[in-house]
Amino acid sequence: MNKGMVFLVGAGPGDPGLLTLRGKELLETAEVLVYDRLASREFLELVPAGCEKIYVGKESGRHSRTQEEINGILVEWALKGKRVIRLKGGDPFVFGRGGEEIQSLSAHGIPYEVVPGVTSAIAALSHAGIPVTHRGVGQSFHVITGHTAVGAGDGDSLTGDFDQYACLPGTLIFLMGLSNLEKIVENLIKYGKDPRTPAAVVTNGTLPDSRCVRAALSSLPEAVRRAGLKPPGIIVVGPVAAFSMTCKKELPLSGALVGITGTDGMWNKLSEKLVSQGASVVRAGISRIVPLNKEGLSGHLDRLDQVSWIIFTSTNGVRIFFEAMREGRMDLRALGHVKFAVVGSGTGKALEEQGLFPDYMPEEYTTEALARGLLSRIRPGESVLIPRARMGSPILRDALCQGGISVLDVPAYDVEAEPVGREALLELSRLHYLTFESGSGVRGFFGELGDEKKRLLETGPCPVCIGKATAEALSAFGIRRMKIARDYTADGLLSAILEDWDHGSSRL
């Protein structure tokens, strides 16, 4: 039988940037992805579109699959000849039960590779400013499970070796133990650990909403209750827990948590700009550009000799228009008589990358300003071509038509937004801002659970819209509280957030 291969990949502690290069390379070639409950959904976006995704995550008190079932899934797909990626939080061998999965694969003669991951036992504490070792203070560290599987099933119970743990020198690190925090503290003190020992709990380590609570060991459970920390979390006990070696560099957006919806292009541009200003960012919704009506656009390309102006309202329109020209084996000579207008600097730059410069760009990057400027430049009776989004704003088209201009309004692409499910709403509620780059993206965001998402945006993150048309789409869902970028660009969104942010004093 043609056997496939299984790759056990450690996803790291949560921050997508801490996935190893080898792990990313394998995810991009996966045929089947078997994955745990992950701290970041961005890992799932790395796999190919046709990849089979199988969730087998385990949560406290609720298991999607037993370990035996997971082993069976890996064996089944590998025996079908598939390239299977088993993605596990942290490292596969740090309480990840990777060894059990390998034993099952070996019993069936299935080849495998293990790709180590950064363990949260070190990374989450480091992110919170706690070094696991420090000269003269903690010269060793011990990683302990906060519960252990017993019997034949997957039930959890607290381990019984606290007489040994309490006597260990250095740093004690308990993983998956926050629900047992009181018992852990009680047993450590019972068997001799000084109640005054520095201790801490870190939740959502390495993620934008990471939190850390420090206290003396005996006071830690009460401090965690007051702070409202919820599992999963890491417990650290030892003198190093008193350290707070976090970066003190203050940037304009330090402390701000921003969710970005939209296309890969917007994510790449805006996330880099926000991070450079000190913000933490998460991918909060994915939109994809889908070219459509290529035959219709090609038909208009055959009539370019009748067109005086081509007007672009987005970078996507520029890209798809020139892709259609190349597919039709037309070059720039066919555009020698045409003038070009763009809505803003980002679209203008995209046009320049095609070897052409805009003849008109309004000072204010809005479709209203674009329409006003063109009405004074285009004569009645002239013909213009507008390749744009299917659900784009009709403002420009209607204004030009009212001015006696013949408009060829061609839907060149559509924006499809992936639905944002209920499981993502809790993560989004922790944000300070949520950006939208198009009306289509807004409508995709509200595609399901509309009432819950309306409540989220009324009381949670402040929506930031790339322009008036996007703001109008948001208003149609009853949202009144929002910020609107003056420029239809990633820089415009950044400026709107910078103007509103006051280093977190009024929002945290």
Candidate list 88, 156, 176, 361, residue with the active-site label: 176
Helix (H, G, I), strand (E, B) or coil at 31: coil
Query: Is 294 one of the annotated active-site residues of the chain?
Result: no
Query: Is 5 one of the annotated active-site residues of the chain?
Result: no
Candidate list 15, 58, 91, 453, residue with the active-site label: 58
Alpha helices in 251-333 (DSSP H): 264-276, 294-301, 315-327
CB 236 within 8 A of CB 409: no
As a whole number of angstroms, the distance between CA 144 and CA 283 comes to 32
Query: Is 58 one of the annotated active-site residues of the chain?
Result: yes
As a whole number of angstroms, the distance between CA 181 and CA 230 comes to 11
Both tokens assigned to 184: 């852990």
Q: What beta strand segments (E) does 314-432 contain?
A: 339-342, 383-389, 406-417
H or E element that contains 113: strand 112-115
Cα distances from 349 to residues 47, 316, 436, 494, in angstroms, run 31, 12, 21, 18
Closest of 71, 123, 78, 62 to residue 98, by C-alpha: 71
As a whole number of angstroms, the distance between CA 329 and CA 317 comes to 18
| 358 bridge partner residues | none
As a whole number of angstroms, the distance between CA 247 and CA 263 comes to 31
Q: Which residues are catalytic?
A: 36, 58, 176
